[in-house]
Every structure is written in structure tokens, then in C-alpha cells.
A and B are shown apart, each in its own frame.
Chain A
Amino acid sequence: MTSLTCTLLIIGAGPGGYVCGIRAGQLGVDTIVVEGQKPGGTCLNVGCIPSKALIHAADEFAKARSFAGENELGISAGAPSIDLAITVAWKNGIVKRLTGGVSGLLKKAKTRYVQGQARIIDGKTVEVATADGPARITCKSLVIATGSKPFELPFLPFGGTVISSTEALDLETVPQKLAIVGGGYIGLEIGTAMAKLGAEVTVVEAAEHILPQYDAELTKPVLARLKELGITVHLSAKAKGLSEDETALVVDLGKDEIDILADKILVTVGRAPVVDGFGLEDLGLSMNGKFIATDAYGATSMRGVYAIGDVTGNPMLAHRAMAQGTIVAEHVAGLPSVWDKKAIPAVCFTDPEIVTVGALPGEVPGSVAAVFPFAANGRSMTMERSDGLVRVVYDPSSELILGIQAVGAGVSEMAGEFSLALEMAARLTDLGDTIHAHPTLGETTQESALKGLGRALHI
């Protein structure tokens, strides 16, 4: 058996693990990253990146389709068709480039990368099943960055027509009828894309709203767009299982049960942390529900063992994992880093997109919200998308910004300004008195702040 030693051993090369590895390497910490599958984790391989590639392809296709009919721009084009197999191959090319990039970045940081399934022996020892046989790695500090996997419903196990997001991003043909269980962001992102590609999409959501973590003001434009795209949405509806001939999804609508015919059933009811099957249980770490409990340094209840990313709880977001990975690497290197972030932005790549940073209205007692619609923004009109709004939540006595949200086409790119405003403890005047370029969507952020100050200009 090969035997390796290092100072820092990271299990999992997802966004948390590889960033932790790069940062540790930069700081001169002797580091090994172990990954059982491909570097890049869910995000690069079967999550953020592939889904955005699919969404982009679907948008382009939808555009081409709109040009085939009557349109306000006066463009005429023939009816388009799409070979999804080629699209998927293109997407896989991007994924390959990015995962290759991760390996290169680790190498550049002088962090070693070991390919193989890891098994924890104890808090300082891990065994890896590499292609060349088992390797035993001993370390001073261990980071668990094993991420999460799609949550499986017991009555709708994955397999056959029942698929998870992973398979949905690898479909070679557009399903004619797609049923989606779960109206969260993953289901709606893929569902919207598939509808644009020509699928007949039905969404089944158990809660009273789609995107249950957001309020109605933000989800309304999304719901309207889903209807426009011909997507059927069943709210307060419970999926019961497959019909006997496995061609339909049985759904309990409360009053009655219906069968939704579907050649693919996508289950996106959340993600579960990967905390078993690799010896983690034997460490007996303190847990926080299903998740590993950590402190502000990312440390678990066992000395020298850290956890970052989806295994540490919600929100399960790549950028949160990256920030955690940075802090753990710096902590291991002896720097005084600690989790002191004010806000973790969350982006939902539905159509229109939703961005949320910080407090929602009503979350902080006494806070108020000021809203400015894209309907009053010139740039939005020129992009034929004036649905949506920017909303700033603030404390009226100090003008301090507590949260910023937006819904609208392309608002994901505005997330940076929102987060910066919160981290810098900006006040309405800071945003309102900052010149925002014209004509851009960002002017709406400035206007929403000005509205809070009672001096919005373009409304």
C-alpha cells in the first residue's frame, strides 16, 4: 500500500475542496486533495455550470423559434430544430475545460491531487482506492468537503423514467412530456429550459408557492413567465408515485388524484449532504440535523477535523463553500481568519432570474422595503424584458441597507453590487449617490435606493 503524508488533507474537490486546496497551497501548507469522481464536484460537473449551459442553449433556441413567428423586431427566420445530443456534447466540452482548469490550478498552487474514493480511518488517516491500488494518507488536519447529492423520494426512486438533475442535464433528446416533482429553483431552472426546447412541462409543488423560500413579490414574474411558456404548475400537490404502467406520475391534488402522463419524471425535491458511506460515521462528529456541525472557523467537534460546503448545511451554494474553504485553509495556516460574512448572495437562474442578498422584507423588525420596477428602466425595454424589479430592504432610522433582492432578466450579474453594499454596510445614500451607468439594469438599483430616500427620479 502506498503511503503519503501531508499537513492538510481535503476529501472532495468540489468548489469548497478545490478552493481550500488552492488557498492552502498558496499559503505553503503541504496539501492533498482527494476526489472520487471528477474535480469540480457537483457545481462544475452536474450542477451550476452544465445547467447554465443548457439554459443558454434553450434561450437561444427559444429566440430562434420566436424569430420564426411574428415578432416585434421584424426578424424573420425559418423554424429551428435542435439536436440535443450536440448541445450536450458542447456542454460536456465546457465542463471538461473547467474541470481540467481546476486540476491545473491545484498543480500551480503545489497542491497534490489524488484520484480515488476516500475512506476515513480516523481523524488523521484516510485510505484512498486509487487506480494503482489503495493508498494511505496521514495528515495533521482533515477537511470534509464531500458535498451533497439529489434527495431521493422513497416512493419515486431514481431509475428508468425517474431521473435526478444529473440525468436531466445529460438527456440526448428533449422529452415530449416532462413532469417535475418539486418547484424549487433546480426544478424550475431545468423545467423552463426544457419547455423552451419544446417539452410539455408540468411542475408539481407541495407548497402553496413555487420557490417557497422567496416571497410572492419576487416569484410572481417567474410564475407569469412559466404560464407564458406553457408550463403547467400544480401547487399544494403531492406526488404519490408512478402509475402502474410507469407512463404517468400520480399526483394528489387534495380534492382528487390525477395522472400526469410523462416520458421523464424529474425529481428535484432538494439535496442531501453526503455524510455516510466513507467512514465519517466512525468519527462520531457532532451533527446539526443531517449536517456536520462546525464553528466559525469551519472546525468540527473533533480537533483537526474541518468541514466545508454542502455537508455543513444550507444554503448549499458553491460560493459559500468557496468562502468556507478559504477560511479553513487560512485557519490551518495560522491566519486569524473567521467566518464574518454579512451576506451570501443566492441566484436562481429561472426566467426571469432572481437574486437575493441579505434580509427579506419583514425579516428584520422595523425594516422597510423600497421597490423600483424594470418597467421604468430604459435598458430593460430595449431588451424586450421589462418584467421584474429591484427591491432594497433597509432600516428607516439609519438608512442602513439590510437586504437587496431583484427579479428580472439578467439580474444575476447585479448580485456583486448587492453583496458589496451589504458587506460595506452601505446606506441608501451610498447606493443612491453612486453614479450608475446609463442605460443599464443597474440604474434600477440606484433608483430603488433613491426611492427609499424619497427622491426616485424615473417614476
Chain B
Amino acid sequence: MKILAVKLPDVGEGVTAAELVEWHVKIGDVVREDDTLAAVMTDKATVEIPSLYSGTVTWIGGEVGDTLAVGSDLVRIETDAEAPVSADLADEPARAPEPEGVVPTVEDAPVTASEKPVAPAGKVIVAVKLPDVGEGVTEAELAEWNVAAGDIVKEDDVIAAVMTDKATVEIPSLYSGKVVRLGGSVGEVLAVGSDLVLIETDAGAGSSGNTPSPEAPAATASKVDAAKPAVQPVARPSPARASAVPANGAPRAEGQPPLASPSVRARAREAGLDLRQIAGSGPAGRITHADIDAVFDMPRRSPGQAAPPGRAARTGTEEIKVIGMRRKIAERMALANARIPHITVVEEVDVTALEELREKLNAGRGDKPKLTVLPFVTATLAKAVLDHPEMNAHYLDDDGIILRHAAVNAGIATMTDAGLVVPVLRNAEALDLFQTAAEITRLSEAARTGKAKRDELTGSTFTITSLGPLGALATTPIINHPEVAILGINKMATRPMWDGTQFVPRKMMNISASFDHRVIDGWDAAVFVQRIKSLLETPALIFMET
């Protein structure tokens, strides 16, 4: 058994770091090869990282919201390297224990060297590897051991001296803890990067509670390398650390006032807690901050208790970390709103003709995908920007440059479970209606399932946002910085319109377009919106080469 690390892989071109957005495993979990370990997010895409090994997770590389560099350890997995375990790992230790196995004697416990100790609850076993001791050095000879198995070492204590062909180098410990295994005997030659010693050290914060059941370490420990020096490394599982669970102290005797420091008292007062109701876990029964924490962590109502009749006031707040996609969206929205003075123009469009055309085009399609309004809108846009190239542009405000684009790369704002993403329909001007429809379907599907590629999520020149049936009367879309305009499509409805002599039912739809008022004047905005309106009202114009 050994501990292997699954590193954060290169998840995309030019990506050097990724944010942890979700853990699928925790310390102590048994994973199989290809099980998903975690989801990480880069600039735009969320990627799931599979496990490379089967085994037990002994260490995780961070908390949700942390950013990891590509190549850093994501999780460490304790695994049987020689024979990848296909059977359920958790079962294995259960077969092992025999009474004498729990505290094996040094002589009678022949154990293969490949087996690896398992950390007791609250501890993890980490390896100090033979570091790169010099240029071109790939191996070194163990010259001296400064520690033996069972020794307590501190970080930076020298654990061994190794000799290369150039020099003797002392190797310091990277961790504080108990040495459970030496990587070889003096005279042996070790490769750079191989385990020099294994050290049992305190588990990382938050790991407690997820540690494997006590039986597992005890049993596995029985098979620990006992041929090594007299000290039995981890025969007894050390008791779980006291701090793991904020134990509630014993209740106070009658008449004993609660003991708490002024800051604890103030906190209880602010929270409306009665300290007399709280048992103290501190010395002399002192109520500590941890005891108050425990009260807050308790479920509001005990399971057996029935809900009170009638309406109850809801109390409490839930803290939700803004991470991953949501944080990205928040940052981009804030940037757009802070930098861009928006002007929004709302106009109503008579889409009766467009709808008739759409119906006819869809009529003969049978089972094939039907057209929605969106392909018409992108086509309209591709047409309209011919006369208004200033709308299909990026305003690089930091550089003071407006970049007009020849291609119409339409960003299609798409709602996904993770939040808003904008896949890009490239060269909308070069696609016909059905190609557009197919591409939009493909892109939004990719975005919803998180499979959109990086270049499918970047490079839009003009964004379209449509809430479909939820489209409301008008919206005030936020421009997708650094673009200069955005087109919002509102809900379509049949409304009575006055045709000069009578009211007639017309299919009406509003459009809400926002413009960057720094570079687009109100006049131009209005003219552009009118152009869109006239194209949509007379759809034949969209397809005429004029």
C-alpha cells in the first residue's frame, strides 16, 4: 500500500490555476479509479476530475472556493500500488484481525514490506520524499538515519543524511509527527522522489468526523511492518482528538451560576442565548466559544418534537459562499455595471408576419427540430450591423480603443444550473436559419451540461438575451463587457392594435436593447433599434441582399 497523489491536471490551454467548486469525496472515502473526485472551475468551464487510483482518500487539497495551481496535489489516495484493488477496500481489513494480530510481536509478524500503516482517527500519514538534492542527481545513498520508527519529529528536524556522488546532504522533515516507517536502511540507494519516511501527523483541519471507523485502522495496523526496529508503529488507534467534537460538559449542579468570560457572555446576549441553559465544556465548567458554536450547530427542533400548529416565524440566515461560476458572474456583472453607463431602449415590434413565416417554415419539418424566434433574431442582428458596424464592436476601455468586428459572433445568454453562461454562435452572418437553429441548440445543450469548450464560451461580439415565455414587458439588459450593445427579447403576446379604423389582434413582442452610452449615442441607439424593428416586422428584408 502506498499513498499516491492525484494532481490537478492541465484542464485547458493557458490555464494555470482552477478554483475548487465541489468535492465529490471526503477524507476516509473509498474511491475507485475514474470516480469523480472534485469539480474545478477555470475561467469559464467547470471540469470534473476523475481519480487515477482506487483506494482510500487520506487528504484533500483544499476547501471549496480555494484556488489550486495546475500540478498541485488535489487528493492523496492510499492505494495498493502493485495490485489495483477492485474489491471493496473497506472489506479487506475486516478479514484480517486475529487476537494476536492487534499487538503483533516483533518476531512473529512477517509482513510484506509493501504494506503501509494506516493512520488512526484524526491523523494522516504523510511521506517525506527524497528531494532533488542536486542538479542531475537521480538517486542517493542513505548515509545515516537520524530517526527511528516511533520517534517523534518536528518540522525541520533532520531525519536522514543521504550521499550523492557529489556531497552528503541532510534531509529535514517537512512535517511534525511520529515516524512510522523508514524508507530503507543505511547503504540503500533511493531514487529522488521516493518515500524517505512516512510520518503520522495531525489530520488537516476539518478532517475529523470523516475518518474511517476505528476498526479499520486497528486491523490494518496489525499487518504493519513489524520487522522494523522494536517500536510498534501504530498498533493502538490513538483516541480521537478531543477537539474533534466540541463535547458538551456535564450539566451544572443546582444553584451553580454559569461561568463564562465577558466576551462569551456578550455573544450569548447578542444571540439571545440563556447561558444557564448551556453546559460548559471548559475548565471548571467554563462555557467557551466552542460551546456557543455547538448550540448554533444544533438542529432547531429535536426529531420527535412535532411542529407547532399554525404559522411559525422563520428565523435564521443561511450563508452561501459566492464561489465558482456565481463569483465569476458577479465579478463580470459588477464590472460591466460599474464601467458602462447603460442606455436602454425599449420598442414594441409587430411580429405577426415573422410568426406566420416561422409557422410555414416549421410546418413541413415533421420530426426535425423546429425554428424558434431566436434564429430570426440572430439573422436580423447580422443584417442590421451591416449598416451599424459600431454596434458589433468591443470597446477596450482600458486601451481607449474601439474594435469593430467583421464577423457577427452572437453570444446567446443561456441559463444553466450553475448560472448564466454565454456560448457563442460564431459567424452568425454565414449561417442560414436552420444551421443557426441547430448550432444554437447544440451550444445551449453543451452549456447546460457543462461540456462547452473554452473557445465556445469566448469571443462574442454582440449578445442576445431572451427569457422566452418569462420575457416580461421590458428588461434592462446588462452589456457583456467589452461589447457595446446587448439585445433583450421580451415576451410575445397577442394584443389589440389600432390599424386606423379598428382594433385588430396582432402578435406583439417588445425588444429591450442596452447600449454603452460612452461610445453609442442615444440617436444611434434609437436608429439601430428602429432598424431591428423594421427588419423583424418585415422578415423578407432580413433575407434580401440589399
Contacts and interface: CB of A to CB of B under 8 A. Distances in A.
Contacts of B261: 423-425
Nearest to A430: B283
B284 A423 contact: no
Nearest to B263: A424
A398 B270 contact: no
A400 B284 contact: yes
A427 interface: yes
Among B261, B270, B285, the most chain A Cβ lie within 10 Å of the Cβ of B261
B261 to A, nearest CB: 5
B259 A400 contact: yes
A425 B262 CA distance: 9
Contacts of A427: 283-284
Given A398-B284, A398-B285, A400-B284, A424 B262 contact: yes
A399 interface: yes
Contacts of A400: 259, 284
A337 to B, nearest CB: 7
Contacts of B269: 336-338, 340
Contacts of A398: 283-285
B76 interface: no
B29 to A, nearest CB: 41
A386 interface: no
A429 B286 CA distance: 14
A335 to B, nearest CB: 9
Contacts of B286: 425
B265 interface: yes
Nearest to A336: B269
Interface in A75-123: none
A399 B265 contact: no
Contact of A429 (B260, B270, B283, B285): B283
Nearest to B282: A425
A322 to B, nearest CB: 15
B280 to A, nearest CB: 9
A348 to B, nearest CB: 25
- Name the interface size band of chain B: 10 to 19
A424 B261 CA distance: 4
B272 interface: yes
B265 A340 contact: yes
A420 to B, nearest CB: 9
A26 B285 CA distance: 36
Given A398-B284, A425-B286, A427-B284, A336 B270 contact: yes
Interface in A326-361: 336-338, 340
Q: Which has the most chain A C-beta neighbours within 10 Å: B259, B260, B284, B286?
A: B284
A333 to B, nearest CB: 14
Interface in B424-475: none
Nearest to A341: B262
Contacts of B272: 336
Interface string B140-176: 0000000000000000000000000000000000000
A427 B259 CA distance: 11
A81 B285 CA distance: 58
B285 A423 contact: no
Contacts of B262: 423-424
A425 B270 contact: no
Given A336-B272, A425-B260, 18 more contacts: A336-B270, A337-B269, A340-B265, A340-B269, A398-B284, A398-B285, A399-B283, A399-B284, A400-B284, A423-B261, A424-B261, A424-B262, A425-B259, A425-B282, A425-B284, A425-B286, A427-B283, A427-B284
Interface string B203-242: 0000000000000000000000000000000000000000
Nearest to A429: B283
Interface in B232-270: 259-262, 265, 269-270
Contacts of A425: 259-261, 282, 284, 286
A427 B283 CA distance: 8
Contacts of B260: 425
Query: Nearest 7 pairs between A and B by C-beta?
Result: A425-B259, A398-B284, A400-B284, A424-B261, A425-B286, A336-B269, A427-B284
Nearest to B275: A340
Contacts of B282: 425
B345 to A, nearest CB: 45
Contacts of A338: 269
12 contacts: A336-B270, A336-B272, A337-B269, A340-B265, A340-B269, A398-B283, A399-B283, A400-B259, A400-B284, A424-B262, A425-B259, A425-B260
Contacts of B285: 398
Nearest to B271: A336
A159 B408 CA distance: 103
A11 B188 CA distance: 88
A398 B265 CA distance: 20
A399 B282 CA distance: 12
Interface in A365-399: 395, 398-399
Contacts of A340: 265, 269
Contacts of A399: 283-284
Nearest to B269: A336
Contacts of A429: 283
Interface string B282-299: 111110000000000000
Interface in A388-427: 395, 398-400, 423-425, 427
